[in-house]
């Protein structure tokens, strides 16, 4: 399959740690990139490559990869982290780009 | 800082052609890859395709028969045409820069997005 699968919704208590996962065959060959999207806004790249953050992204965001699964971890979730999170990478052939269905993160 | 800005009609009639442009500032479309991505209301993201720094295009297989992405380097802008539209093409359309380095790739700069509604 060339799909990327994410849990539709996840919740976390304020200040706690949450992991958002993304599964897909193509993740065995390509690194996932993660985006945060808040309502009415364009997606924002938060993690790329093995575990790199663009300038300005807090270090509570981290990424990891194992087999066909990529994970985005938020250590010490803040209220402003409540958003939709999407994973993205190439398909199995490396020719086209896929997005996961997105995970809605609620910070309680 | 690279900035992208979409422009185009917000309303398109069924069976007609959706046309959008994206003007790039702070960077040159003669490098990297320049993409279109869409998001139907309340739904997830879908990659439409890209045009490369060399003018090579690459489209999503499900849209390939209806999509054309082109570039005007003199204006530092690129464009999307999607023909024979239906209500299913109603979405927020984003332009974005795609950076590819080996096994890593990502859309690192995005426009603000523009809502296109397909309706008579």
Start-end of H helices in chain A: none
Residue A47: its pLDDT value, please? Answer: 96
Q: Which of A51, A60, A79 is nearest to B104 (CA)?
A: A51
Name the band, by pLDDT with cuts 50, 70 and 90, for residue A94: confident
Using CA coordinates, name the residue in chain B closest to A26: B103
Q: Does B46 touch chain A (CB under 8 A)?
A: yes
> Which tokens hold the place of B105?
């790739």
Residue A2: its pLDDT value, please? Answer: 61
Are A62 and A18 within 8 A, CB to CB? no
What letter does residue A80 receive in the DSSP assignment? Answer: G
Residue A102: its pLDDT value, please? Answer: 97
Alpha carbon of B15: minimum distance to chain A alpha carbons (Å):
26
| Cβ–Cβ gap A43/B107 under 8 Å | yes
Q: Is the pLDDT of residue A56 over 90?
A: yes
Of A43, A96, A100, the CB nearest to B60: A96
Q: E strand or H helix at A11, and its extent? A: strand A9-12
Query: What average pLDDT does the segment B32-40 reach?
Result: 97
Residue B4: its pLDDT value, please? Answer: 98
Query: What average pLDDT does the segment A36-42 reach?
Result: 97
> Which tokens hold the place of A100?
């996961």
Q: Does A49 touch chain B (CB under 8 A)?
A: yes
Work out the number of other CB atoms within 10 angstroms of the CB of residue B115: 13
Mean pLDDT of chain A: 95
The percent of residues in chain A predicted with pLDDT above 90, rounded, is 92
The model's pLDDT over B73-99, given as tens digits with 9 standing for 90+, comes to 999 999 999 999 999 999 999 999 999
Residue B102: its pLDDT value, please? Answer: 85
Are A22 and A99 within 8 A, CB to CB? no
Alpha-carbon distance of B120 to A79, in angstroms, equals 41
Alpha-carbon distance of B78 to B93, in angstroms, equals 13
Q: Is the pLDDT of residue B36 over 80?
A: yes
Are B29 and B78 within 8 A, CB to CB? yes
| Cβ–Cβ gap B98/A97 under 8 Å | yes
Query: What average pLDDT does the segment B38-65 reach?
Result: 96
What letter does residue A78 receive in the DSSP assignment? Answer: -
Query: What average pLDDT does the segment A48-75 reach?
Result: 95
Alpha-carbon distance of A77 to A20, in angstroms, equals 12
Residue B101: its pLDDT value, please? Answer: 87
- Torsion angle of C-alpha atoms A30, A46, A88, A18, degrees rounded to 10: 100
Torsions phi, psi of A27, nearest 5? -70, -10
**C-alpha separations of A35 from A10, A63, A84, A93, B87 in Å:** 15, 11, 8, 22, 27
Q: Does B105 touch chain A (CB under 8 A)?
A: yes
Residue B103: its pLDDT value, please? Answer: 85
Q: Is the pLDDT of residue B108 over 90?
A: yes
| Cβ–Cβ gap B47/A49 under 8 Å | no
| Cβ–Cβ gap A33/B44 under 8 Å | no
Are B76 and B28 within 8 A, CB to CB? yes
Alpha-carbon distance of B116 to A73, in angstroms, equals 34
Indicate if the alpha-carbon torsion angle A94, A95, A99, A100 is positive or negative. Answer: negative
Query: What average pLDDT does the segment A80-93 reach?
Result: 95
Name the band, by pLDDT with cuts 50, 70 and 90, for residue A23: very high
């Amino acid at each position: 399959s060339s799909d990327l699968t994410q849990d539709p919704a996840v919740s976390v208590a304020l200040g706690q740690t949450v992991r958002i996962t993304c599964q897909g065959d193509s993740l065995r060959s390509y690194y996932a990139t993660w985006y945060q999207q808040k309502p009415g806004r364009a997606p924002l790249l938060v993690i790329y490559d093995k575990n790199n953050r663009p300038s300005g992204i807090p270090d509570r965001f981290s990424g990891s990869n194992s087999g066909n699964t990529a994970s985005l971890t938020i250590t010490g979730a803040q209220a402003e982290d409540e958003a939709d999170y999407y994973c993205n990478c190439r398909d199995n052939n490396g020719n086209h780009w896929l997005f996961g269905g997105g995970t809605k993160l609620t910070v309680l | 800082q690279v900035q992208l800005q979409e422009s185009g009609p917000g309303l398109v009639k069924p069976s007609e052609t959706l046309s959008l442009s994206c003007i790039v500032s702070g960077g040159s479309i003669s490098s990297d890859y320049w993409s279109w991505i869409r998001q139907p209301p309340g739904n997830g993201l879908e990659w439409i395709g890209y045009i490369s720094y060399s003018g090579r295009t690459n489209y999503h297989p499900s849209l390939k028969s209806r999509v054309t992405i082109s570039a005007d380097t003199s204006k530092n802008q690129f464009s999307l045409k999607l023909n024979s539209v239906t209500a299913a093409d109603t979405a927020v359309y984003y332009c974005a820069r795609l950076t590819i380095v080996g096994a890593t790739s990502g859309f690192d700069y995005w426009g603000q997005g523009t809502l296109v509604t397909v309706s008579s």
